[in-house]
Structure 1
Amino acid sequence: MAFFGLTALGAQNPFESLAKSHAILNIFTLDEFREGWDAVAKGKSEIDISQVEALLHVVYHGPAPEPELILFMNKLDSERTTPISWEEFASCYEELVAKIEADEKSLSGRLGSAATYTSYDELCKAKDKGIKLETGPKETLVAPLTAVQEFGWNAHESVEKRTIHGKKSCAETIYASELYKSGMYF
């Protein structure tokens, strides 16, 4: 179904692929991170913890997804004051990739972390009891999963407050009210 990592039908598990907790760090090679390291370090053998985000920006060709940034910052200890060497960064990358691949193997056949219910029966029971979720799709997904969710996904950004005043009367209603007042229609 997939040819060189591409598939015409989209992700095999959209709940997992769009979950905010889903990491895609393992799609990059260590050589790609080395090229990013060379671009950020500019000939130095070490970088500061503050430059890790810039390194990920180079590798991802844009802002890195939040899960990847959090993974690196937690693994490298974001409170550290000592610089990071390439060897330390490379071993951190390899450990994170091994963890991601192990998580993917354990999740095979199950729904992703963005799914709330594991069966239709659970969903129906929650609906019948009127149980509402604490988090909505915007808190668990990075993008809308369906076309219906696209409508209103960023509504708070584009909605402007304006007051709409309806017509009090038009020519037809004035005519009808005059007919009623004259006693023609009861």
Structure 2
Amino acid sequence: MTPTPAADAATSGDGAEALAPETEQAPEASEPDATPAQCVDEQLALAYVARPQDSGAGQFFANLVFTNVSASDCSFDGWPGLVAEDADGAMLGGPALAEGGSSDLAVLAANGGVAIAPLHGGMPGAYGCPATTSTALRAFLSSDGAGPGVTVAQAIPVCSDRTSTLGLGPLIAG
């Protein structure tokens, strides 16, 4: 390195400038890795993991665990769609409402990458609606909601009318 005068060089009593080592330039930033394509329903498997330690007083909590079962990485930023269904695949209650204030990009690695969406449910009695029990939950990750969804068999209490008793947080990389 060649010494160069410091920007605010101090002078000694004899008028000589103090020298500072030349600053090295940082290497040019390399291109960041491209974000994988958005996850589509067909790339994923879904599991329901109850959180009984958080549940009570007319509420229940669970994690919806999305696993990438495809050979390609994929990404998702935001809230999945979610509905409860009966044995015939008909929607029960209203769609889950988004909970939580912000989301970050979740990247699910190929062949096993995981992301989690926290689920919160209220008992139908608290909403004054007719109660029933789902047989499945169907989540949608396709951006237009037109995909087939990802289904997990799960019995949870919901309303039989269009009242929504479910809230779902954003997908978080696991």
Task: Classify the TM-score, shorter chain.
Answer: under 0.3
By relative contact order (CA 8 Å, sep 6+), the higher-ranking structure is 1
Compare CA radii of gyration and give the structure with the larger one: 1
Q: Is the helix fraction higher in 1 or 2?
A: 1
More strand by share: 2
